[in-house]
Amino acid sequence: MTTLANARPGQRRSLWSRIRSGEAHLVLFFLLPASIGLVAFYLWPAIRGAYLSFTDYNVLSDPTPVGLANYQRLLGDDLFWNSLGVTAVYVVINIGVQTIVAVLLALLLHRATSSTLVRGIALMPYFVANVVVALVWYFMLDYQVGIVNQMLTWLGIDPVAFFGDPELAVPTIAMINVWRHAGYTALLVFAGLQAINPSVYEAADLDGAGERAKFFRITLPLLRPILAMVLVITVTGSFQVFDTVSVTTNGGPVNATRVIYLYIYNLAFGQLDFGYASAISVVLFLLLAGVAFLQIKLLRSNQTDLD
């Protein structure tokens, strides 16, 4: 009888009740592999990084505690504030454009085709390595011999210094990453679209709602939980932009594209200033945690409008 009750489909039991009922060893056994990775590669480095942020550390000799000196230095460091500003501009352009493109692309994939091949093609840029994408675009956007500027010249437009103009460098890099990631983001949104019950649209059709009204009154609100999840993932990823910048402008011209991760990397591995680099990393961690928390709260991602 008990076994029957346990086997009842759809029954959910809390972890705690499982542990109490003697399944603890099984639970822990399944948690173990993931925990090893989490502790060894995330938790312990994070704790150590936080500790190092209070030290002067060049990796090759022992860290010397310096209290809050690294954090004080950070407050007066123009390059740090510059990198924060550059990163913020990048995130706004990257996420803004990418989210709109992804939603439109997802609608297109959802409505205009059911071919897996066509839907797969949207993902293709995502399958190419970041560094390769950045290099190929770098060559195509070259001022003197790049194909994009060749085409602009044929159209009678003066060549554009995509990477060399401080005003354009960050938007250029942001758009390259939109190109690479929009398909992947669209796939996540697409999954959300498929989860919307078609009967809602049928009801709207009966009420005589237009396409615009259906999009803004039905599609977007019902996508909200998915969009919240997508935004948390993409915004966090966007803040961590590094490779595209590293292989193209490497922070230049002047400091126009010196994003925060590049600055951290240069401090740590270029100047062997791991203590200060850790301090900036800790600040970035707190910042990202705060942004993610705000997003989840503001977008109420754990609630759906269907209830």
Partner 1 sequence: MTQMSRSIRMTRAGRRIGLAAVVVTAATLALSGCASAASDRPVELTYWMWDANQMDGYQQCLDAFEDANPTVGVHLEQVGWNDYWTKLTTGLVAETAPDVFVNHPQQFGTYADLDQLLPLDDLVGPAGPVDLADYQPGLADMWVGQDGHRYGLPKDWSAIGLFYNADQLADAGVDPATLEDLDWNPRDGGSYERLIAHLTVDDNGVRGDEAGFDRAHVKVYGLGLNRNNNGGFGETQWSFLALADGWSYADRNPWGTRFSYDDERFLETVTWWRGLIDKGYMPTFTVASSGMNDTDAFAAGRYAMITQGSWNARAIASAGGFPVGIAPTPIGPTGSRATVTTALGDSVWAGTKHPEEAKRLVAFLATPECQDLVAKQARVFPALRGSSELAAAAFADQGVDVSAFTVQQQEGTAVPSPVVLGWTRLQEIMGPTMDAFLAGADPDTFEKANRQVDAIFR
Residue 299 interacting with partner 1 (CB under 8 A): no
* Spatial distance between the Cα atoms of 150 and 140, rounded to a whole number of angstroms: 9
Residues 160-189 that bind partner 1 (CB under 8 A): 161-166
Strands 64-65 and 55-56: antiparallel
Residue 139 interacting with partner 1 (CB under 8 A): yes
The Cα diameter of the chain in Å comes to 82
Tell me if 172 sits within 8 A of 163, measured CB to CB.
yes
Task: Give me the least distance between CB of 242 and partner 1, in Å please.
Answer: 13
* Spatial distance between the Cα atoms of 80 and 263, rounded to a whole number of angstroms: 8
Q: Which residues of 213-230 are buried (b: 16+ CB within 10 A; e: fewer)?
A: ebeeebbeebbbbbbbbb
* Spatial distance between the Cα atoms of 42 and 155, rounded to a whole number of angstroms: 51
3-state secondary structure of 122: coil
Residues 201-220 that bind partner 1 (CB under 8 A): none
Q: Please give the structure tokens belonging to residue 90.
A: 């990048």
Among the listed ranges 32-40, 54-62, 66-74, 99-107, the one in contact with partner 1 (CB under 8 A) is: 54-62
143 or 215: whose CB is closer to partner 1?
Answer: 143
Among the listed ranges 34-42, 43-51, 181-189, 251-259, the one in contact with partner 1 (CB under 8 A) is: 251-259
> CB neighbours of 291 closer than 8 A, spacing ≥ 6?
235, 236, 239
Count, residues near partner 1 per rule CB under 8 A: 35
Task: Give me the least distance between CB of 252 and partner 1, in Å please.
Answer: 6
Task: Give me the least distance between CB of 262 and partner 1, in Å please.
Answer: 12
161 or 189: whose CB is closer to partner 1?
Answer: 161
Residue from the set 188, 255, 288, 292 that interacts with partner 1 by CB under 8 A: 255
Residue from the set 54, 138, 190, 261 that interacts with partner 1 by CB under 8 A: 138
Category of 280 on φ-ψ map: left (φ > 0), alpha (ψ -120 to 50) or beta: alpha
Beta bridge partners of 236: none
Residue 152 interacting with partner 1 (CB under 8 A): no
Q: By the criterion CB under 8 A, which residues form the site for partner 1?
A: 58-61, 131-132, 135-136, 138-139, 141-147, 150, 161-166, 249, 251-255, 266, 269-272
